Chains A and B, each alone.
Chain A
């Protein structure tokens, strides 16, 4: 496996009196496509700049391939960065931009030409070699930045929101290309983004950050299906959160009282005790919506009753915001795959029943704990 591991242990960073990172621990393996996901200002870019050598942590250690890199300047680290603004050199052609690291190393012209053309072909830009960056489109500039960052054959590629300046369609396309490039070069990618869709679709693992802290590290599936905290659950996708006062707990079988909704069943691990309050979440696509009371078959199914407050049609699905008996709004997605089955169309103000399985509910930590 090419690439390098990165070990970040107990790293904190202050900017003046503002604490940008609080005791961050990350262990990224060789060749991994690792994403740092969080809202702006959560510290994810700071982590990247620490790995790249642009900042030094106030405490903690950073090791690349087991070697401590603290104090090493950016030009002495085996990682290269794709900057958010691309940072292409405006006075140089595409060719010379990509050749820049080789020129610094005083590589002979023949070799430079060969390597640059190889990396330009990797991002499909050979034809644009003589152009200036200002003559390229956003997506092309992006690819130049990637080729330039890869030509030194780094063991780690750091990507700082590389797609944020592109429009939605192009972003999808570039994301797939990034994934392909990652498969081809096989080095460690560390990808910073605030877009959960981007992170979910390409990452091997994701670290979700907020306010300088890492809240959860896991595969996209773990992060989505089993969020650790309320923040993670709400930040990744949409979710519905219920406050449950635990009535009984038997292994993973939990019964709790939700105010105004009666008893609810949850099948998840929790070390809470009866009488305590926990947060139980359910994803909108795991809820069924119907106009008649659904049959429960004696399983652990939760059923809520309410009225449609707002139906939002978006082609492949309809999103319903339903006001249930407690007054709370619950979001439900209904896919249109089986639209033709003659299910009656559900509209505004319709009386509906929401049903979801206890197994699909997840207990999360309260935000801020």
Chain B
């Protein structure tokens, strides 16, 4: 009993921190989402489901779908790029240097890196300068302010979060298994699909979550890089909070995003360690019938 009390004491700072900075704000958002909207922002202390019914607004539904679509595309692209990156780092002789290069961008502020992309892709930006210098175009090409640009920058932003968990899983992978697969008749591609991928599934899932969850709540990238066609849920929440001043609606959308993403995480975490595909279908009775004496 005493020991348990001491354990509780050790975790007290953690618990306090989480209560004040996580649980309390979350509760406030939950409560706000069920209250009536105040006239000039804020809330009226009166129960209402208005904020949730208001989400049926076709505009919000559209943006929800778009957010989902952008998140899925960006996550898929990130994983497709991160997988070979992680693999090559894991198999390389100078892992430390390559990992360092992956982490280097973190030293620059998130927003500054977004502005860097604006500087590269803007109408008077680096890319257009080069194209003009090569006489490939006379007019500036509009690279920014569309979905493609948003996806590109999102992929860029979250690539390290996918490369790192993939690297650490692939680094533990026994590469002789690939030799074995080749030896048993698999082509190089087949050996990756049938042997490498199933054995690094946990790394893929982690990398996927690390990219999908933050991208689903993206705000700054679509705001600065995107245009009308790339408004995401994060932007709507901010608008409701600061422009339209509908705090309950901002809260209810936030709740939806939170529930959806935590739901996804739970689904994956709680999933039973899935049995491998049951291609094996020898009748147990058949096994039992084999007399023991024969072996």
Seen from chain A, the residues whose Cβ lies within 8 Å of a Cβ on chain B are 52-54, 73-75, 80-81, 83, 85, 87-93, 95-96, 99-101, 103-105, 109, 113, 117, 121, 124, 126-127, 129-130, 148-149, 152
Contact = CB atoms under 8 A, between A and B. Distances in A.
Interface string B72-87: 0000000000000000
Interface string B161-177: 00000000000001011
Interface stretch (B30-38, B143-151, B178-186): B178-186
Interface stretch (B17-25, B94-102, B276-284): B276-284
Contacts of A81: 179-180, 183
A137 to B, nearest CB: 15
A74 B276 CA distance: 27
A145 to B, nearest CB: 9
Contact of B176 (A53, A87, A99, A126): A87
B184 A80 contact: yes
Contacts of A113: 281-282
Contact of B177 (A80, A89, A93, A121): A89
Interface in B74-126: none
Contact of A91 (B182, B199, B280, B281): B199
B279 A96 contact: yes
Nearest to A127: B287
Contacts of A103: 194, 279
A81 B182 CA distance: 10
Interface residues of B, number: 26
29 contacts: A54-B182, A73-B182, A75-B183, A75-B187, A81-B180, A85-B176, A87-B176, A88-B180, A89-B199, A90-B199, A92-B276, A93-B276, A95-B280, A95-B282, A96-B280, A100-B184, A100-B186, A103-B279, A104-B184, A104-B186, A104-B194, A105-B185, A113-B282, A124-B295, A126-B287, A129-B282, A129-B287, A149-B183, A152-B184
Contacts of B187: 73, 75
A83 B176 contact: yes
B214 interface: no
Contacts of B281: 109, 113
A104 B177 contact: no
B290 interface: yes
A46 to B, nearest CB: 14
Nearest to B275: A93
A90 B184 CA distance: 16
A91 B198 contact: yes
B195 interface: yes
A101 B183 CA distance: 9
B200 to A, nearest CB: 10
Contacts of A74: 179, 182-183
Contacts of A148: 184
Interface of B: 174, 176-177, 179-188, 190, 194-195, 198-199, 276, 279-282, 287, 290, 295
Nearest to B199: A91
Nearest to A80: B183
A54 B281 CA distance: 34
A218 B199 CA distance: 44
A74 B184 CA distance: 8
Closest 8 CB pairs of A and B: A87-B180, A101-B184, A74-B182, A91-B198, A95-B280, A87-B176, A81-B183, A104-B185
A63 to B, nearest CB: 19
Given A89-B177, A96-B279, A126 B295 contact: yes
A127 B287 CA distance: 6
Contacts of B287: 126-127, 129
B192 to A, nearest CB: 13
B177 A87 contact: yes
A277 to B, nearest CB: 47
B77 to A, nearest CB: 26
Nearest to A124: B295
Given A74-B179, A81-B180, A130-B282, A91 B186 contact: no
A93 B279 CA distance: 10
A87 B179 contact: yes
A129 B179 contact: no
Contacts of B198: 89, 91-92
A90 B199 CA distance: 8
A75 B290 CA distance: 35
Contacts of B290: 126-127
Contacts of A105: 185
B195 A104 contact: no
Contacts of A92: 198, 276
Given A73-B188, A87-B179, A129-B287, 12 more contacts: A54-B182, A75-B185, A81-B183, A85-B176, A88-B180, A89-B177, A96-B280, A100-B194, A109-B279, A127-B290, A129-B282, A149-B184
Contacts of A90: 177, 199
A327 B106 CA distance: 72
A117 B174 contact: no
Contacts of A85: 174, 176
Nearest to A49: B179
A160 to B, nearest CB: 10
Nearest to B290: A126
A87 B287 CA distance: 26
A90 B176 CA distance: 12
